[in-house]
Amino acid sequence: MNHPAPERPADVVARLRATFRTGRTKPVEWRTGQLRRLRALLTENGSDLEAALHADLGKSAAEAQRTEIGFTVREIDHTLDQLADWLRPEPAPVPAHLGADATAWTQYDPLGVVLVIAPWNYPAQLLLAPVVGALAAGNAVVAKPSELAPATSAALARLLPRYLDTDAVAVVEGGVPETTALLAERFDHIFYTGNGTVGRIVMRAAAEHLTPVTLELGGKSPAFVDRDADLDTVAARLVAGKFLNAGQTCVAPDYVLTDPETAAALEPALVRAVEAQYGTDPARSTEYARIVNERHFDRLTGLLDSGRVVVGGGSDRSRKYLAPTVLADVAPDAPVMREEIFGPILPIVTVPGLDEAIDFVNDRDKPLALYVFSESDGTRERFAAETSSGGLGHGLPLAHLTVSDLPFGGVGESGMGNYHGRYSIETFSHRKAVLKKPLG
Ligand code: NAD
């Protein structure tokens, strides 16, 4: 079969820019229309997308719905519900020297043509949720899915043009060469989700055109467990948050930080929690995902001797299966503590107490998320006041990113800028200052 040659990146951007210049993407009706079409794509093609996510990452249908398809539908519904309100111009008080007849306000202007670059771990959600924001803000969008989730990338490249306005939304598939070519073009905003090394490449390319960037990066998100915490509850929530998508979640608790006595009591609680969640043989659980590829599988199994195996440790390269694994007696400088784990290995690192735990966090890069399991207001307040992280979760990992009215993003090495809900409108718009003074 003869496929037409893919459109060159420069032509894609020129075509979308021409559409933007006509003003077609600006009326709120166009925006809500596109969001409804995207919603229809997700609800009408749920089983195709579930199959693609299963092929790429072994995600169960339930998990695909909860963390990717349904997640994006909820983001769309929230946006449809609130958009008119978010877009309302905001009056600003006018100083007396301009006279009583002067008025001032801010209004949101769309930026133009936006590039969204997504990673492989939540390959549908992390492409589409930024696209929701970019469309809601009235932009044209180039969407670049991750080549490391090829089935999902292909499904989205096939479906998006069938549902959305192809003069304003384009999907460009591919890896480094294709993304490099895209990055040479001038965009009005680049929204990148992935690792910090590529984040730097993106930002350098953006600097050539003075294009603003949002960088949604990762890092090691700590989970502090206080000695007063109910350890069975803590273990169940840690296991649910850590081993979702086989640990390949940017806001997964990366490691546990606690004192030695609590660590000793937490170990058996974690063993019980893993068994309760995935059974005695997680390889047979349909709810447990697989590692994305052999390269990451080899990287992860290379980290297994960083400590004593409390539970898990088993693996099968041919199936890219790595058991939910907890490691104890892990030294702060062990290999597993030197980089973001991004897989189903949960090390427990001990510190004498709260002061040292706070120092431990502050001695390292600012994390994307920080989790605190404590019954003490004082402890919670100290973490809130004395540490910096993209988000802070008391008692429950991951969940803050499902609150549509909270901004989601990192700080420092974990990224810059944020999105979700109205924060996506802020990200993908220019807030224009307007002053009006009558001539008469
Ligand atoms: P990845 O390998 O899929 O890369 C992400 C994107 O960058 C892909 O679209 C890829 O094509 C592109 N890319 C790769 N190399 C490039 C290059 N040299 N030039 C231009 N583009 C290039 O995904 P990844 O980076 O392995 O993703 C995992 C990382 O992402 C982890 O660090 C994780 O914490 C982070 N992450 C962050 C969030 C968040 O919301 N903050 C969400 C998910 C993942």
DSSP 67-93: IIIHHHHHHHHHHHHHHHHHHS-EEE-
Whether 4 is in a domain gets the answer: no
Whether 330 is in a domain gets the answer: yes
- Give the 3-state secondary structure of residue 286: coil
Answer yes or no: do 82 and 227 share one domain.
no
- Residue 96: Cβ within 10 Å count: 8
Which among 245, 236, 233, 241 is positioned nearest to 62, based on CA atoms? Answer: 245
Q: Which of left, alpha, beta for 313 (phi over 0: left; psi -120 to 50: alpha)?
A: left
Answer yes or no: do 202 and 334 share one domain.
no
- Which residues have CB under 8 Å from 136's CB, separation 6+? 31, 35, 79, 83, 424, 425, 428
Around ligand 1, the residues with Cβ closer than 6 Å are 117-121, 126, 144, 146-148, 175-176, 179-180, 193-195, 198, 201, 216-218, 250, 340, 342, 368, 410, 415
> What confidence tens digit (pLDDT) does each residue in 242-286 have?
999 999 999 999 999 999 999 999 999 999 999 999 999 999 999
Answer yes or no: do 203 and 236 share one domain.
no
Q: Calculate the average pLDDT of the chain.
A: 97
Say if residue 375's pLDDT is above 90: yes
Say if residue 138's pLDDT is above 60: yes
For residue 251, the domain's CATH number is: 3.40.309.10
Whole-angstrom Cα distance, residue 205 to residue 183?
A: 6
Answer yes or no: do 170 and 60 share one domain.
yes
Q: What is the pLDDT of residue 6?
A: 81
Q: Which of left, alpha, beta for 437 (phi over 0: left; psi -120 to 50: alpha)?
A: beta
Q: What is the pLDDT of residue 428?
A: 98
Type and span of the H or E element at 225: strand 222-225
Say if residue 1's pLDDT is above 60: no
Whole-angstrom Cα distance, residue 226 to residue 383?
A: 12
198 CA → ligand 1 middle, Å: 7
Q: Which atom of ligand 1 is nearest to the CA of 123?
A: 3
Answer yes or no: do 350 and 229 share one domain.
yes
The residue segments making up the domain with residue 373 are 222-402
Residue among 57, 68, 116, 120 whose CB has most ligand 1 atoms within 8 A, to mutate:
120
pLDDT > 70 in the chain, percent: 99
- pLDDT, mean of residues 284-305: 97
Whether 99 is in a domain gets the answer: yes
Answer yes or no: do 343 and 213 share one domain.
no
Q: What is the pLDDT of residue 234?
A: 98
Whether 353 is in a domain gets the answer: yes
72 within 8 A of 85, measured Cβ to Cβ: no
Q: What is the pLDDT of residue 161?
A: 98
Whether 1 is in a domain gets the answer: no
* Nearest-10 crossing angle of helices 70-87, 125-136: 20
365 within 8 A of 219, measured Cβ to Cβ: yes
Instruction: Give the sign of the dihedral formed by CA 149, CA 61, CA 236, CA 388.
Output: positive
Q: Which of left, alpha, beta for 58 (phi over 0: left; psi -120 to 50: alpha)?
A: left
Whole-angstrom Cα distance, residue 347 to residue 256?
A: 6
Q: What is the pLDDT of residue 102?
A: 98
pLDDT tier at 2 (50, 70, 90 boundaries)? low
Say if residue 213's pLDDT is above 60: yes
Say if residue 40's pLDDT is above 70: yes
Residue among 57, 75, 121, 192 whose CB has most ligand 1 atoms within 8 A, to mutate:
121
> What confidence tens digit (pLDDT) does each residue in 78-101 have?
999 999 999 999 999 999 999 999
Answer yes or no: do 207 and 264 share one domain.
no
Answer yes or no: do 252 and 175 share one domain.
no
Whether 2 is in a domain gets the answer: no
Residue 216 falls in the annotated catalytic set: yes
Say if residue 163's pLDDT is above 90: yes
For residue 416, the domain's CATH number is: 3.40.605.10
Whole-angstrom Cα distance, residue 415 to residue 408?
A: 10
Answer yes or no: do 204 and 281 share one domain.
no
Answer yes or no: do 293 and 194 share one domain.
no
Say if residue 356's pLDDT is above 70: yes
Answer yes or no: do 234 and 260 share one domain.
yes
- The token duo for 305 is 């001797």
> What confidence tens digit (pLDDT) does each residue in 392-421 have?
999 999 999 999 999 999 999 999 999 999
- pLDDT, mean of residues 213-241: 98
Whether 351 is in a domain gets the answer: yes
Whole-angstrom Cα distance, residue 434 to residue 96?
A: 17
Which among 345, 266, 268, 267 is positioned nearest to 312, based on CA atoms? Answer: 345
Whether 305 is in a domain gets the answer: yes
Instruction: Please give the tally of structural domains in the chain.
Output: 2
- Give the 3-state secondary structure of residue 116: strand
- Whether this model's pTM surpasses 0.85: yes
pLDDT > 90 in the chain, percent: 98
CA 317 to chain centre: 27
Answer yes or no: do 179 and 98 share one domain.
yes
Q: What is the pLDDT of residue 398?
A: 97
